[in-house]
Structure 1
Amino acid sequence: MRVMGVDPGLTRCGVGVVDGSTGRPLHMAAVGVLRTPADEETARRLVLIERGIEEWLDAHSPDVVAVERVFSQHNIRTVMGTAQASAVAMLCAARRGLPLALHTPSEVKAAVTGSGRADKAQVGAMVTRLLRLREAPRPADAADALALAICHIWRAPAHDRLRRARAVAHPEHGTTRPKGSTPS
């Protein structure tokens, strides 16, 4: 499976592509960061991110796109930029009909380091080790994008089993609902 991980950000958007499957060695196909000028208007920055992601999709033909799920932050301006960049990545994947997975930062940290509270240095060190790299990808956004891809490769089989179980339980909706509840 080839997974493109996207660590969304308006100034720096990390992108990484990893090949692998559960129980097999992982291989980094590519890693980088899409950058936009802070003094550019937001709409223009989003266009630059969209073009960059489309170029990565063209160049690397991933099977799945894994994007960091936006979470609440104290700085509303930062979370807005992250959410906007995330939406662009999701749109690019959807436009191509690619499966999309969203993973929280703590899920990614736990999958890669064993602790959902790991810091950036620990994530970078484990990505370096797992992918057998000479040094940690820089900046941290690049390492985080690779960590997202690794997380998805390792968690995809469990997610697929859960999705299939829900579809069997409720084929008309593809999800399970508590007894007595009604569809929304």
Structure 2
Amino acid sequence: MRILGIDPGSRKTGFGIIEMVRQQPVYVASGVIRVEKFPAPQRLKRIFEAFGELVRQYAPDQVAVEKVFVHKDPVAAIKLGQARGVVLCAAALAELPIYEYTPTRIKGAIVGKGHARKEQVQFMVRQLLRLSETPQEDAADALACALCHGRLAALGVDLSILNKGARF
């Protein structure tokens, strides 16, 4: 099973792709879709196009997306929600199953505690995927999302409940 993890953002959207081989995660690719230099509508268009290119290039079987958490700044939350919506729409148009995880759930699955620091997530992603270098923060978050999904699948969790609004 190939999983495309996404850490959506209005200026930088992280992506991470892993393959689950005999219940073990194997690194495929990761990076950041950078759109900060474009006006808002162009950012969304470029995120949409980049996501489509990732799907064409890497042919994922499933998509794991980080859920929006509550922001103190409502404008930032709206922008993040727009970027997330573009990713969800692109995945739906590609007819890929979409699974959503809260940051707390992702950190808990990867680090063992839901309120882990970014550096701890980066460290564990590097260890779990046996990477020679630490991934950039947004890419590490996306890989962590994919790893969280892969771990739940490997444990035999009924993933269909995730698409029915279950809180994870």
TM-score (norm 2): 0.90
Q: CA deviation at 1:159?
A: 3.0
Q: Distance in 2 between matches of 1:4 and 1:111?
A: 17
Task: State the partner residue of 2:76.
Answer: 78
2:58 is the counterpart of 1:56: no
State the Cα deviation string for residues 28-62 of structure 1 (Å, max 9, x = none): 10000001134x32111100100111110110100
Q: Distance in 2 between matches of 1:28 and 1:80?
A: 32
Task: State the partner residue of 2:96.
Answer: 98
Aligned length: 161
Residue correspondence of structure 1 range 164-175 to structure 2 within 5 A: none
Answer 1 or 2: higher relative contact order, Cα 8 Å, separation at least 6: 2
Task: State the partner residue of 2:12.
Answer: 12
- Secondary structure class of the residue paired with 2:157: helix
RMSD over aligned Cα atoms:
1.7
Task: State the partner residue of 2:143.
Answer: 146
Q: Distance in 2 between matches of 1:4 and 1:132?
A: 18
Question: Percent identity between the aligned chains?
Answer: 37
Q: CA deviation at 1:76?
A: 1.7
Residue correspondence of structure 1 range 13-28 to structure 2 within 5 A: 13-20=13-20, 24-28=23-27
Q: CA deviation at 1:96?
A: 1.4
Task: State the partner residue of 1:128.
Answer: 126
Q: CA deviation at 1:78?
A: 2.0
2:109 is the counterpart of 1:111: yes
Q: Which runs of 4+ in 1 moved over 4 A?
A: none
Matched letter for residue 85 of structure 1: A
- Secondary structure class of the residue paired with 1:26: strand
Q: Distance in 2 between matches of 1:63 and 1:70?
A: 23
Q: Distance in 1 between matches of 2:49 and 2:97?
A: 19
2:123 is the counterpart of 1:155: no
- Secondary structure class of the residue paired with 1:158: coil
8 A contact 2:14–2:33 mirrored in 1? yes
Larger relative strand fraction? 2
8 A contact 2:25–2:150 mirrored in 1? no
